[in-house]
Amino acid sequence: MTQRLLVVLAALSILAAAFAGWSWWRAASDESLARGRDRDAILSAAGPYLVTLNTIDYRTAAADVDRWTAATTGQYAKDLSGDRQLQIDRAVAARTVSTASLVQAAVTEIDVPAGTARLLAVLDVRVSTGGGAVTPKMNRLTVDVSRSPAGWKISGVQAAGS
């Protein structure tokens, strides 16, 4: 009787181990897991870049605009580079100080093979000009993100409907 019980327990242990191995393999090769990792990588890159693109201080405008360019890719980066001096001059002339924080962001579209994604983001932006009072504003944005050799970067930003 004891020997029969040991055989049954051994068989159950083997079945449990086989099921655990199969479950682990299935989870490791699950496409939604890879998609979730890509989504998380996009969000962790795009969030700080969006904050960067909405931050400028007239005292450090040149470095701030250079950070804008570093956070972007494609035609958007070229446009920002082309307008670099104009952006600096505007910030200095108006004595602009703008800070931002990311309130929330979510990936709405993702095409990993093409290296593109789109997300919706809400930023709390606080702007002061001429040494005046800070004006708070919630910016709702549609953001295009593209994979570059340096990782995921912002390739376009548009105001989203409220």
Domain ranges of the chain: 34-159
Mean pLDDT of the chain: 92
Position 162 scores a pLDDT of: 58
Q: How large a percentage of the chain has pLDDT more than 70?
A: 97
pLDDT grade, residue 15 (50/70/90)? confident
**Max mean pLDDT range (2-11, 14-23, 100-109):** 100-109
Position 6 scores a pLDDT of: 81
Position 96 scores a pLDDT of: 97
Tell me the CATH number of domain 34-159, given options 3.10.450.50, 1.10.530.10, 3.40.50.300, 3.20.20.70: 3.10.450.50
Tell me the Ramachandran region of residue 101: left when phi exceeds 0, alpha when psi lies from -120 to 50, beta otherwise. Answer: beta
Task: Give yes or no for residue 25 having a pLDDT over 80.
Answer: no
CA distance 60 to 152: 25
Residues 6+ apart with CB under 8 A from 63: none
Position 30 scores a pLDDT of: 67
How far is CA 31 from each of CA 28, 107, 116, rounded to the nearest angstrom?
A: 9, 17, 17
